[in-house]
């Protein structure tokens, strides 16, 4: 392998920046895709695009892939409902089939057991493909495992900004697929859909995208469809408290069932951006809504993207003669900061989406918000409640679908995801 090609070890040790509720400071996407060089946007040359196909992520491990993996350029989020007559036995067989296929797909191999391979990804390498599996609240009733349902999986509270489509929310099973090649991602999607038959059927599917690795001169935090640098304050794997914020302890203390050891909880929201309204604002007005400069993501109080925001800094208003806060009280970045929410934090790892135009000719586009935390009542919920009460960004977004899923820890070699739950 050429010297500039990313090794498997290098890929697995690289932590990107990805990620909100549209959520924390600056926010709606967060880990920057970084195939080489620094993952914090501080520098380093990006990988040549021709190397992307060789990137491989391991399926087996302590945690499932697709959580701390650098965010990919293409994603599919899919929810399934178990078919009538399918229960615990059928669910276990399905998770075994899916886990075997995910390991093959992530290694760049054809899938066994789903009929002849479709050859969609025949000429491509793994392309950093990841497949992640989770269980919804309704899964436990369908399989007779109600006593094993975590309390953290209780339905999310209602928020005043919600305009939720129930048909595109929740589900028994959830699958996240990410890859740096669209054909590789679609190949995995089709394989898993085919393997689901006859045990489960698709409830809803959402397709997203991010900037491709190597598209910028250096790795950097990505931008969302509003043009904002997004995800600056995402937790980093190098933080001392990262694991306790994002993952269930390896030895749960009773708050979570034993089968959730080393797992996480994911909140999924389809957040439509009202782009026609947003783009009518001046750049300065957009920056005041967010609380950060659009050009480089730095706080309005000055510095660089990673400079601490000075929440009490004021400036004299020339017209009124009064001192005004530089970062408005209702600025998104101010309201969503962990220190403004009792330390609540989540790992945001979203995809943008564009699903054409509505009947009014307005773009149906926005954010497939995906956030990870050890407990949603200590991560997503307090932040979203605060945003719900007065975030300036609320006038330009609409939450249209929602889901909460328990994502168990990774599978060891020879095991399948969820085996401790389904065979425990």
What are the pLDDT digits (tens) for 50-63? 688 999 999 999 99
Run of H or E residues at 52 = none
Say whether 230 is catalytic. Answer: yes
Strand extents, DSSP E, 253-332? 264-273, 314-316, 323-325
Ranges of each domain in the chain: 52-143+165-211+244-291+328-422
190: Cβ–Cβ under 8 A, 6 or more apart, which residues? 118, 120
* Active-site annotation holder among 230, 256, 262, 388: 230
Q: Taking 90 as the threshold, does the pLDDT of residue 261 lie above it?
A: yes
Q: Determine the average pLDDT of the residues in 403-424.
A: 97
pLDDT, one tens digit per residue, over 266-276 is 999 999 999 99
Q: What are phi and psi of 139, to 5 degrees?
A: -60, -35
| Residue found under tokens 């001046």 | 282
Cβ(333)–Cβ(25) below 8 Å: yes
Query: Where is average pLDDT lowest: 26-30, 70-74, 162-166, 318-322?
Result: 26-30
CA separation, residue 175 to residues 132, 170, 268 (Å): 6, 12, 11
Query: Where is average pLDDT lowest: 83-92, 109-118, 120-129, 326-335?
Result: 109-118
pLDDT, one tens digit per residue, over 352-363 is 999 999 999 999
Q: How far apart are CA 370 and CA 289, in angstroms?
A: 22
Tell me yes or no: is domain 52-143+165-211+244-291+328-422 CATH 3.30.70.1030. yes
- Return the bridge partners of 79, or none: 174, 204
356: Cβ–Cβ under 8 A, 6 or more apart, which residues? 363, 364
Cβ(156)–Cβ(113) below 8 Å: no
Whole-structure pTM value: 0.88
pLDDT for res 422: 98
DSSP structural state of residue 351 = E
Q: How far apart are CA 35 and CA 57, in angstroms?
A: 12
Q: How far apart are CA 92 and CA 105, in angstroms?
A: 20
Cβ(165)–Cβ(85) below 8 Å: no
């Amino acid at each position: 392998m050429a010297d500039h090609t990313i090794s498997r070890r290098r890929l697995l040790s690289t932590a990107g920046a990805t990620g909100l509720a549209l959520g924390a400071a600056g926010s709606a996407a967060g880990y920057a895709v970084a195939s080489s060089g620094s993952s914090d946007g501080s520098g380093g040359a990006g990988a040549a695009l021709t190397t992307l196909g060789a990137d491989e992520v391991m399926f087996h491990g302590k945690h499932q892939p697709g959580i701390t993996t650098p965010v990919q350029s293409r994603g599919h989020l899919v929810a399934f409902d178990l078919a009538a007559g399918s229960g615990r036995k059928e669910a276990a067989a399905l998770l075994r089939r899916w886990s075997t296929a995910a390991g093959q797909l992530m290694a760049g191999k054809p899938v066994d057991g789903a009929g002849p391979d479709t050859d969609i990804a025949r000429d491509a390498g793994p392309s950093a493909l990841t497949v992640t599996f989770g269980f919804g609240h309704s899964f436990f009733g369908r399989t007779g495992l109600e006593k094993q349902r975590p309390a953290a999986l209780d339905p999310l509270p209602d928020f005043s900004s919600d305009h939720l489509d129930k048909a595109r929310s929740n589900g028994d099973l959830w699958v996240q697929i990410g890859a740096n090649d669209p054909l590789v991602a679609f190949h995995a999607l089709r394989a898993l859909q085919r393997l689901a038959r006859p045990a489960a059927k698709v409830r809803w599917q959402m397709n997203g995208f991010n900037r491709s690795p190597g598209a910028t001169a250096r790795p950097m935090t990505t931008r969302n469809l509003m043009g904002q640098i997004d995800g600056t304050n995402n937790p980093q794997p190098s933080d001392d408290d990262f694991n306790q914020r994002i993952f269930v302890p390896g030895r749960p203390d009773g708050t979570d069932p034993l089968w959730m050891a080393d797992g996480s909880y994911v909140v999924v929201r389809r957040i439509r951006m009202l782009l026609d309204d947003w783009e009518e604002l001046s750049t300065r007005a957009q920056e005041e809504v967010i609380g950060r400069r659009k050009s480089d993501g730095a706080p309005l109080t000055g510095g660089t993207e990673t400079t601490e925001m000075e929440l009490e800094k004021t400036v004299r208003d020339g017209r009124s003669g009064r001192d005004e806060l530089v970062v408005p009280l209702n600025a998104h970045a101010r309201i969503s900061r962990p220190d403004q929410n009792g330390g609540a934090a989540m790992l945001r790892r979203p995809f943008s989406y564009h699903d054409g135009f509505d009947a009014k000719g307005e773009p149906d586009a926005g954010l497939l918000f995906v956030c990870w935390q050890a407990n949603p009542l200590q991560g997503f919920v307090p932040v979203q409640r605060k945003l719900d009460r007065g975030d300036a960004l609320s006038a330009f977004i609409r939450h249209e679908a929602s889901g909460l899923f328990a994502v168990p820890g990774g599978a060891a070699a020879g095991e399948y995801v969820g085996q401790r739950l389904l065979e425990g």
